[in-house]
Each structure stands twice: as structure tokens, then as C-alpha cells.
Amino acid sequence: MTSSSRFMPQIHRRTLLAGAGSVALAALAGRTRAQDAVSGELVVLNWIGGSEAEMMKTIQNGFLKKYPNVRIREVNITGQGDMRGGIRTALLGGEVVDVLINTWPAFRKELSDAGMLRPIDDQWKSFGWDKLISQSWKDLGSIDGAAYGLTYTFGDRSGIWYKKEHLAKAGITAPPKTWDEFLSTFSKLTKAGYAAPVAIPGKYWAHAEWFENLLLRTAGVETAAKLAAHEIPWTDPAVKTALSKYAEMLSAGCCGATNTMLANDWDGEADQIFQANAKNYLLIGMWMNNRAKNDYKLVEGTDYDLFQFPSLGMGHDDTSSVDAKEFLVTSNGANPKAADAFLDYWTSAEAANLLVKNGYASPSSQVDSALYGAAQKTATAAVASSKLQFVLGDLLPGDLVDEYRVQLQKFLQDPSEANIDTVLGSIETKAQGSY
């Protein structure tokens, strides 16, 4: 994998969990070994829903067969949009868990600063994870050189999903490769009877995907990393250029009525494409693959596929946005042995291949890559060959990310140059007090 040296910038910020405290675990001097007896209750904080939750349950069942003396109790966090608030509420409310699922590097730092996580460097050695998972993924899950997160799946966030029959009906013989080609497909798709070529889920966070990819393609990973760390202001010309390209897409007739965009989350917009046949393109993460397979019962590569974000010819077309889901273990969990064994199981061939069969990628070298479908092959090849930057919204402090997304909603309502300046100025004002 080619990765930027600024792949995950250090974020210095005040923690929202200061004073939460933790219970020291003196017993951690003798770390869990794979052969140790593992038993008792394992408490997992889980905010994953839908068909992804069903996949999670399947892999948990595989773990329980290997460790029959363990029972899993899930603390389920439900909600819409960014789930960090719900997780904070549960932990600060006194919920004690052994393992939690995380996808936000900034949140991992927040929890670590509050003393709520224990490092897993010893487990990397004792379980041999360093022989199964590359150093780049270990670095991704580390804070100041100490490993905390074990990535269990990763995703291409620069892939655009589409239904093959839609392009064929519009006379489009192949997915567009350049920005101009992409914009030119809008009129063809509209003439073919589709309500809006691009599905923009603007209710919570997914409308930011377009800006973040445009920032990468117009300014590169270094600029995106600097913005995430607030080493450049949101009013920087490079940031404005990216938002102006977003405005160009809106002006080209991509997306239909703004109130429709602001009313829908990503799953509803996915339904508009893959069930209602009303829209055509969706820029969203690899969990879409799981939904297409399991909820829509579509065939990957035959009924649907994805293509990489169009090239803009500005010197940064070798970039991709990526995300990852990781497991974190807590400093006050009652069953660290079971927690460590649970993480270890996810690096196994059994768990890795179950992930693949459900449309996800695994970082484990135990995975059988022959099981990847067409869309996942495209995505994993793109990740392997690109300069990578982690999803910008997941790197921002929790109070800033809310303002960022609200301001982008205001941009969707008025993508004029004057309002672009206003929107970026408002984000910058918030950023100045957030680090």
C-alpha cells in the first residue's frame, strides 16, 4: 500500500471526556496468549446496524464456537448520523465494556486522553498480528507510537456506486473517467427518465463525501492532512477551489431539489438508486456492497458496480479517501483475556473470509483474495495503488465536525461564490476554538 506520511495527522485538542477516569489493570503485566484459557462474559459496545450487524453476529458466533466458555453481551447504541455522541453518553453514564467498535481516529485520541483505553502493543507481538497485518495498519491504529486500535476492515471512500442497467439505458457505454465526462452524463441520464443523476444524502454527514474527495483531487493528501490538523485555515484558496468544484457539479444539474437532499440519509438515497430506479450515482463507503448483496439481493459486478472518483487533471488523481473500522479495548473492562482473544479471532482466515463474503475487505493476510467480487476488487486495487488520506470528517474534533457538516448543508442551499466564502469563514471561526 502506498500511503502519505501525513495519513493520519496528530490532533491536539481538549478532550470531551476529561476526568472520566479508568481502573488500573495490574494483571495486564502477563498479557493474554492465544493458548490461554478464556471464559466469562465479554461486553461489546456495538453501534453497527442493519445487514452489517448481521455480519457482525455471524463472526461473533464463529468466535464463540472457538471459545465456548465465553458469552457475549452487547451494549447496543442506536441513533442516526454520527454515533460518537451516543457512545460518549453510554461510557460517561457508567457503562463498562471490554471492547468497542470505532471508526474515528479523533475519537480514539479523545478516549485515550481520558484514560479509557489500554494499549495493545504486547498483543501485536504475542498473537503474531505483526505477521498477519501490515505495519501501515498498525500505524493507523496508533497514538504517539503506541498501538490502540486493531483494524478489522477498511474501505475505499472514493468509489461511486451505480446500477449497470441505468447507464445502459442512457446510452453510456462505460463509467466516466474524467470530471468533464462525469458531468456530461447528467443530461443523458435525465433524458433517460431518471429524477436526478447523483444521490446526495445531506441529512447528516454523507454530503461531505463529495467535498472531501474533491479536496484530494484538487489539492492532494498533504493539503487535506494539514486542514484536518488545522495547519491551514478553512479559508485557504485550496479549500475554496474544492468547494467551487462541488458547486460546479450542482450547477450542472446533478442532484435535484435541495430539500430532498437535506431530508435523506445515505440508506434512503441508496434505495432511490437500487430499488426505486430514480437516481444513478452514490458516493459512499464499502458498506454499500453489503447492503446491495443482502438487502437488495443484487449480484455484484452484474447488477451493480463502482468506479473510482473521476480524475480532474490537477496533479492529484492518484489519491483516494479511505476509512477503517477498528476494535478498541478498554482500560476498565472486566475481561481483558476474552477481549484480546476476540480481537485475535478477527485476524483469522475464518473471520476474514466471512467479511469478504459479506462484501467487506480484511487487512489480514489470511484472507482469500479470490473471494473478492468485482466491486471489491476495484476498491482494494485503488486503495493499494493510491496516496491515501483518512476521511476528513472522522479526523475532525467532535465539536468542529458538527459545524462543518451544517455549513456544507448551507452550501447546498446556496452554492454561490459569496456563500462559499461565508460557509468556509464560519467553519474557520469554529475551528479556531476546537484544537
Structural domain of residue 274, as residue ranges?
A: 157-320+387-430
pLDDT digits (tens, 9 = 90+) for 112-155: 999 999 999 999 999 999 999 999 899 989 999 999 999 999 99
pLDDT digits (tens, 9 = 90+) for 18-75: 344 433 333 333 334 444 589 999 999 999 988 889 999 999 999 999 999 999 999 9
Sorted by sequence, the CB contacts under 8 Å of residue 231 that are 6+ apart come out as 9
Sorted by sequence, the CB contacts under 8 Å of residue 4 that are 6+ apart come out as 221, 222, 225, 387, 388, 389
In a domain, 147, yes or no: yes
196 conformational bin, left if phi > 0, alpha if psi -120 to 50, beta if neither: beta
Phi and psi at residue 297, in whole multiples of 5°? 60, 40
In a domain, 402, yes or no: yes
Shared-domain flag, residues 121 and 195: no
Q: How many domains does the chain have?
A: 2
Distance of alpha carbon 21 from the chain centroid: 28
Shared-domain flag, residues 313 and 348: no
Phi and psi at residue 304, in whole multiples of 5°? -145, 165
* Residue-by-residue pLDDT tens, the chain, 435 positions: 444 333 333 333 333 343 444 333 333 333 344 445 899 999 999 999 888 899 999 999 999 999 999 999 999 998 777 889 999 999 988 999 999 999 999 899 999 999 999 999 999 999 999 999 999 899 989 999 999 999 999 999 999 999 999 999 999 999 999 999 999 999 999 999 999 999 999 999 999 999 999 999 999 999 999 999 999 999 999 999 999 999 999 999 999 999 999 999 999 999 999 999 999 999 999 999 999 999 999 999 999 999 999 999 999 999 999 999 999 999 999 999 999 999 999 999 999 999 999 889 999 999 999 999 999 999 999 998 999 999 999 899 888 999 999 999 999 999 999 999 999 999 999 999 999
- Write down the residue that cell numbers 479470490 correspond to: 370
In terms of Cβ atoms closer than 10 Å to its own Cβ (0-12, 13-18, 19+), residue 219 is buried
In a domain, 252, yes or no: yes
Sorted by sequence, the CB contacts under 8 Å of residue 314 that are 6+ apart come out as 217, 218
Shared-domain flag, residues 57 and 109: yes
Q: Residue 196 is part of a domain; what is its CATH number? A: 3.40.190.10
Shared-domain flag, residues 150 and 276: no
In a domain, 19, yes or no: no
**Could you tell me the CA-to-CA distances from 393 to 105, 119, 212 in Å, in that order?**
10, 24, 8
In a domain, 7, yes or no: no
In a domain, 2, yes or no: no
Shared-domain flag, residues 94 and 180: no
Shared-domain flag, residues 186 and 304: yes
In a domain, 14, yes or no: no
Shared-domain flag, residues 273 and 176: yes
Shared-domain flag, residues 118 and 52: yes
Shared-domain flag, residues 161 and 300: yes
Give the chain's length. 435
Shared-domain flag, residues 229 and 118: no
Shared-domain flag, residues 316 and 342: no
Distance CA 126, CA 133 (A): 14
Shared-domain flag, residues 176 and 311: yes
